[in-house]
Structure 1
Amino acid sequence: MSANTKIILILGGSYAGVGAAHYILKHVIPSLPNKNDYRVALVSSSSHFFVRPTSVRALVSENAFPKDKRLFAPLSEAFKQYADSAITLYHGTVVKLDQLTRKVTVISAEAGKTEINLEYHALVIATGVTTQSPLMGLSGDHQNTIDAWTSFRRKLSTAKSIVVTGGGPTGVETAGELGQYLNGGSGKPNVAITVVTKSNQLLPYLPPSLAQKAEEQLSKLGVSVIKNRVVEKVVSIDTDAVNGAGQSIERLTDSVTVHLDHDQTLQADLYIPATGVSPNTNFLDHQLLDKEGYVNVKPSSLQVEKAGPRVYALGHVCSSNPRAIHAIMKQVPVVGENLKQDLLAAENKIQAGKEAYRAYEPETKVSQLVVVGKKGVGMFLGWRVPSFFVWLIKGRDYWLDMTPPMWNGKGYAKPI
Structure 2
Amino acid sequence: MKTILILGGSFVGVGTAHRILKQASKTGPAVKIILVSPNTHLYWNIAAPRALLPGQFTDDEIFQSIPEGFKQYSKDQFEHIVGFASSLDVANKKVEVSADAEGTKPVTTIRYDFLIIGTGSRSKEFDEDVKAPVKGLGSTEATKDALHEFQELVEKSKTIVVAGAGPTGVEIAGELGYEYRKSKKIILVTSGNTVLETAIPSVSKTALGMLRDLNVEVKLQTKVNRSSRIKREGPNQIEISLSDGTTLSTDLYIPTSGIVPNSSYIPDKYLNANGFVKVDEYFQVKGLENQHVWAIGDVSDLESPQLLVADRQSGHLAKNIGLILNNNAPLLYKGGMRGMGCQIGKKAGTGHLGWVKLPSFIVSFLRKNLFVEKLASTVDGSAY
TM-score by length of 1: 0.84
Q: Secondary structure at the match of 2:156?
A: coil
Q: How many Å separate the matches in 2 of 1:175 and 1:330? A: 28
Match of 2:212 among 219, 228, 241: 219
Aligned to 2:373: 401
- Tell me, yes or no, if the aligned pair for 1:56 and 1:177 is still in contact at 8 Å: yes
What is the letter of the counterpart of residue 98 of structure 2?
A: I
1:266 to 210, 231, 248: 248
For residue 144 of structure 2, what is the aligned residue in structure 1? 146
Q: Is 2:163–2:255's contact at 8 Å kept on the other side of the alignment?
A: yes
Q: Which of 364, 367, 379 pairs up with 2:352?
A: 379
Question: Structure 2: how far apart are the matches of 1:165 and 1:54?
Answer: 19
Contact 1:371–1:394 (CA<8 Å) still a contact in 2? no
Question: Which AA in structure 2 matches 1:203?
Answer: L
Contact 2:278 2:300 in 1 (8 A): yes
Letter in 1 for 2:275: G
What displacement does 1:329 show? 2.0
Aligned mates of 2:355, 2:379 — CA distance in 1: 28
- How large is the RMSD of aligned CA atoms in angstroms? 2.3
Kindly state the Cα deviation for residue 56 of structure 1 after the two structures are TM-superposed: 0.8
- Corresponding residue of 1:191: 184
Q: Is the Cα contact below 8 Å between 2:132 and 2:254 reproduced in 1?
A: no
Give the drift of 1:254. Answer: 9.4
Q: What residue number does 2:257 align with?
A: 275
- Contact kept, 8 Å, 2:159 with 2:236, in 1: the verdict is no
Q: Which residue of 2 aligns with 1:186?
A: none
Q: Which residue number corresponds to residue 9 of structure 2?
A: 13
Q: What's the counterpart of residue 171 of structure 1?
A: 169
SS in 1 for 2:370: coil
Structure 2: any 5+ residue segments left out of the alignment?
125-130
Contact 1:236–1:254 under 8 Å retained in 2: no
* Offset of residue 276 of structure 1: 1.5
The aligned residue for residue 248 of structure 1 is none
Q: Is 1:327 paired with 2:299? A: no
Q: Return the offset for 1:317.
A: 1.0
Give yes or no for the alignment of 1:103 onto 2:99.
Answer: no
Match of residue 195, structure 2, among 202, 213, 230:
202
Q: Which residue of 2 aligns with 1:22?
A: 18
Q: What's the TM-score once normalised by structure 2's chain length?
A: 0.90
Cα deviation per residue 1:92-134 (whole Å; 9 max; x = unaligned)? 1111111122211111269x94211111111000000102444
In 2, are the aligned partners of 1:206 and 1:379 still within 8 Å (CA)?
Answer: yes
- 1:121 equivalent in structure 2: 113
Partner of 2:128: none
In the superposition, relative to structure 1, how do residues 30 and 288 fare at CA in structure 2: closer, same or farther (>3 Å)? farther
Matched residue type, 2:45: R
Alignment pair present for 1:304 and 2:281: no
Give the alignment partner of residue 357 of structure 1, picking from 330, 337, 353: 330
Structure 2 Cα separation of the partners of residues 233 and 297 of structure 1:
35
Runs of 4+ in 1 over 3 A off after TM superposition: 28-33, 340-344
CA contact (8 A) 1:305 1:311 kept: no
- Could you tell me how far apart the structure 1 residues matched to 2:132 and 2:342 are? 23
For residue 312 of structure 1, report the CA deviation from its aligned partner: 0.8
Shift of 1:89: 0.5
Structure 2: how far apart are the matches of 1:305 and 1:276? 24
**Percent identity for Structure 1 against Structure 2:** 31
Distance in 2 of aligned mates of 1:263 and 1:369: 31
The alpha-carbon distance between structure 1 residues 271 and 384, as it changes in their structure 2 partners (threshold 3 A), is: same
How many Å separate the matches in 2 of 1:221 and 1:295? 39
Amino acid at match of 1:58: A
Q: Is the 8 A contact 1:134 1:145 kept in 2?
A: no
Query: Residue 339 of structure 1: SS of its match in structure 2?
Result: helix
